[in-house]
Every structure is written in structure tokens, then in C-alpha cells.
Chain A
Amino acid sequence: MNRASMNWNATINGKERELEVEPSRRLLDVLRTDLELTGTKVSCEIGRCGACMVLIDGEPVNSCLTMAYQCQGKDITTIEGLHGDKPAELHPIQEAFLEEGGFQCGYCTPGMIISTKALLDRNEQPDEHTIKEALCGNLCRCTGYGGIMRAVESAAVKCKTRTEEPSVAE
């Protein structure tokens, strides 16, 4: 069986999406061009910088390296899919990056935040070594990483606190 095009579908930020695409089309292009989700950034395009990081079934993946057929039917989260308790609110990780100065030009920030989300979903209290390992595929040429490290540590505290807080309904 062969395909020159495919009826591609995936759940993107909680919403079912269906497109006719070439199966070898990069997920990066599907997101930015076809779906106009431009929060996912295009930079090195060879999996080195992490600016295009998204979550596929909860795992961080470089969307520049991923072809459409490789994520057919998957659950994909982009930076547009992160928010606080309400859609208009910032996610705690985004808050932490703002408060700690975890960015300057901001171009790498969506990828940094997605990688941080993947890390904190698995490990709510990562140590410094674990943070560095989790973010080693995300490059920043502005900050020197100090603010980013502080932001991730702060985000871990924020996320943990929110998990432990009883909801209003309780």
C-alpha cells in the first residue's frame, strides 16, 4: 500500500482535527502553516534547538523531525494548549517563566515551556541534574540559562502547590 497523500487526523490541544496532507509533511508545517498554530517555532529544523517542541501523547518530540504519518491519530499538545485553571489564564509554568525572567527574546520559550511541562508531569520535584537533562534539547542564546533554571524550579513548586490545593468545590 502506498500514499501520496493521506487523510490525517489528530487531537490537537483537545480538539479533533482532520486534514488532507502529504504523509511525509513535517508536523511543524502542519501546525504552523495548515493549522496556523504559530506558537510552535521554526528554527534549526534538525532537532537540535527544541524551539519546535510539542507533546505527542504526553512525550516531548521535535515537530521538525516528525512526519505527519508518525503522529496520525495521536494526542498533540502545543504551547497554545497550555493554560491555567481558565483558558484565559497562564499556566503555572508560563507564570514562572515570566516571574523569573526565564526568557529574553522569547523565541525558544514555547519549546522550553513544553519540555518543562513534560518534565514536571513525570517528576514534580526534579533536581538540578534532572532539569538540565530534560532541557538539554532546548537551546537559548539569550539568557545564559540561569533564569530558565530558576523558572523551572519555581514552576515545580507552583504546579505542586496547585495539585495539593483543594478545589473550590471541596
Chain B
Amino acid sequence: MNTHWSKDDMPPIYKPVVWEPADAEEAVALKREYGADAVWVAGGTLLRTQWEGGVAPMPAHMIRLDTIAGMRSIIEETEYVTVGALATLKQCGQHAALQQYANALYMACRHIAAPAVRNLATLGGNVASAVGDALPALLVHDASLLWVDGEVASLHHEQDAVDWMEQVRMGRRSLQAVLLGIRFPKGPVEAGSLLRSSSDIGEETTVDLSANAVSYWTDEKGERWRELCFFRKLGRREAFTPSLVTVALRCWISERGELTRVRVAAGGGSGLAMRLLQCESMLEGRSYDASWLPELASMAAQEFVSYSDPFAEAPYRQQSAGNLLAAGVWESIRDIEEGR
């Protein structure tokens, strides 16, 4: 739909009042005051497509989140990396700390939308949409979400991303909660185990899907474990396409080939991302053998709850998720064996 409203004849619905809260508490108070007539706006890229597509009406009140200080920062602390909800996808796909400690997210952010959209779109917006392609990556990195929530007495609270996804699935998501940030535990990664230096992260360098950072961890028995982590996206064309299916996997593999701390997740399209707990149980403690990859693919296809739309039937998405996971494990192990 082309719109060519002049400044003076735009109908009222296209003239929302734009609020500029100084902090998250004020943003929550504004939402409470105006309810369904107000929306929080981060990068606004998804909202704009919804307004233009008629999926949602343009609201009477927009509440900017970019006026709140500190929302764009990515901060590395001793045990965590915390990403401000308004950090852009471009920032996240270039950040050395995320490359090392949240590699599936780092890779996801390099494959969502096109470069120009990633300059505007934010990680918080992707997450808060509940159907963003970053969500499977959050689930495999044990991420938590930092909220200011008008429905919680203490206002500020931290919530496991898995729990929040479950709330969304049950229709119990708080409508008074503004996302401040996403926190990733660093886990047992040894300092200095990142093999690719920060200088390798070029401005527009396109990283091959197998070009992960490499992290190591040595357990109390002296056995060395290497991180195996990937994100895969299947769309309707090669690049800049809405996803049909996304999968992410993170685990640690010993020198003997044993897997531990396994996390597997799938999502994509307008479906809700989920951890695949049966697949995780199947892999936990198991030694890698290519012969069990078909079993992994089959189990993932059975466990993944998906949906049908005019572009793809649910069984297609489920089978694709299984195949992406099995192929991802196979490729990652191959890369390790070939010294990559």
C-alpha cells in the first residue's frame, strides 16, 4: 500500500503521540496509563511491517525506548555478558564477547534480515516479538531476560528465557513488562580460548556458518572439553528471507568424543521457539558417532512443535528442523576433525 499523505491531511491514526520516557519505570507507567492504545518502540522494524501490512493498527501512543540510558550497551562482566535490549542486530553480530560466549546468538544476528534492517532492528525487539529468530539461540545459551514489569511488586526482575517462552505459550505473558536486557552466562570457558582475534571481526565480513569461535574448558579430572555450538536457519531463499525453521545447539565435547551440557532448541517462522529436551537427554553423556545422527533427526522432528501456513506444512518444518540439527552436528564434528 502506497501512502502519500501530505503533512496536513494525514488521518489522526497516522499521527501518534510519541513519548520519550527518561527511564524504564516511566515507560511502564505510560503503558499502564494508555494500555492497548500504546506500544513500546525499540527499532520499530517489525512494528512498521505490522502497521503497513494491516496486521496491527498504528497506535495512538508510541513509547520510545531509545531515550532510556544504557539500553544499547553490551557489557562483559566476570560471569555474564549483558546485552541492552536496544543493541542493534548489527552490534550483536559484531561483538567479540558474544562471539565467544554466545556464539549461536552471534551467528543468528548475522543471519536475521538484511544488513540495512540490522542497522535499525534490535535484539530486544526480536526477543519481545516472541517469534524472533534469535530466540532458539537464547535458549541454548541459558539466557535470562531482565524486565521492568508493572505486574511484579519489585518492578525489576530477571527471568529465565525458557520460563518466559512458556508464559508466552500459555498466554500468560505480562503486558506491562518492558525488556531492559538479555543476560548470557559465560559458563566454564577458559580465558584466552577464543582463537579468532577481535580484529578478525571485520565490519562487513560475512562469516561462514562453520566459522565459530572456539572455546575450551578443562574439568576437575583434567579432561579438556571443546565447545560445539551452531545456529542454522532455513528460509525460502538464500538470504534476507523470513525463516521457515531455525535451530541452535550448544554442548561441550571431550577429547574422547563425549558430549555434555547439551542444549538444543528450534523455532522459526511465526512459531514459538522451544528447547528440545528429549534430544538433549539423548545426546547428554553420549559419545559422538555419526551412526546416531538419523536418530537425532527423527527425534527432533517428533519433538518439535510447529505449525502449517501457506508456505510450509508443519511436518516439513519438523523434518527440516531434525535434518538441520543432524547436519549441524555432523558439520561441526567434521570441522573439529579437520582442525577448523
Contacts and interface: CB of A to CB of B under 8 A. Distances in A.
Interface in A33-77: 33-34, 42, 45-48, 50, 53, 56, 59-62, 64-67, 69-70
A133 B239 contact: yes
Nearest to A30: B7
A21 B6 CA distance: 10
Contacts of A59: 116, 119
B2 interface: yes
Interface stretch (B16-24, B142-150, B221-229, B266-274): B16-24
A169 interface: no
A42 B15 CA distance: 20
Contacts, number: 115
Contacts of B53: 46
B18 A62 contact: no
B18 A115 contact: no
B204 interface: yes
A50 to B, nearest CB: 7
B44 A130 contact: no
B16 A24 contact: yes
Main secondary structure of the interface of B (DSSP, over half): loop
B44 A65 contact: yes
B20 A33 contact: no
Contacts of B119: 56, 59-61
Interface stretch (A1-9, A98-106, A153-161): A1-9
A34 B44 CA distance: 22
A119 interface: yes
Contacts of B6: 33
A105 to B, nearest CB: 17
B117 A137 contact: yes
B17 A4 contact: yes
B116 A61 contact: yes
Contacts of B45: 47, 65
Q: Interface size bucket, B side?
A: 35 or more
B197 interface: no
Given A66-B120, A123-B204, A137 B115 contact: yes
A3 B49 contact: no
A149 interface: no
A10 interface: no
B7 A21 contact: yes
Given A2-B20, A46-B53, A60 B2 contact: no
B116 A70 contact: no
Contact of B1 (A45, A48, A67, A123): A45
Nearest to B62: A24
A22 interface: yes
Contacts of B49: 46-47
A62 B117 CA distance: 7
Contacts of A29: 3-5
B37 interface: no
B338 to A, nearest CB: 21
B292 interface: no
Interface in B226-276: 239-240
A55 to B, nearest CB: 10
Given A132-B239, A136-B239, A137-B114, 19 more contacts: A1-B20, A2-B17, A3-B18, A24-B15, A24-B18, A29-B4, A33-B6, A34-B7, A45-B52, A47-B114, A59-B116, A61-B119, A65-B45, A69-B18, A122-B203, A123-B203, A126-B204, A137-B113, A137-B116
- Which 3 residue pairs spanning A and B have beta carbons closest together? A137-B114, A136-B239, A136-B240
18 contacts: A22-B7, A22-B10, A22-B16, A24-B14, A24-B15, A24-B18, A33-B4, A45-B1, A46-B48, A60-B115, A66-B120, A67-B44, A69-B64, A126-B204, A129-B206, A134-B204, A137-B113, A137-B114
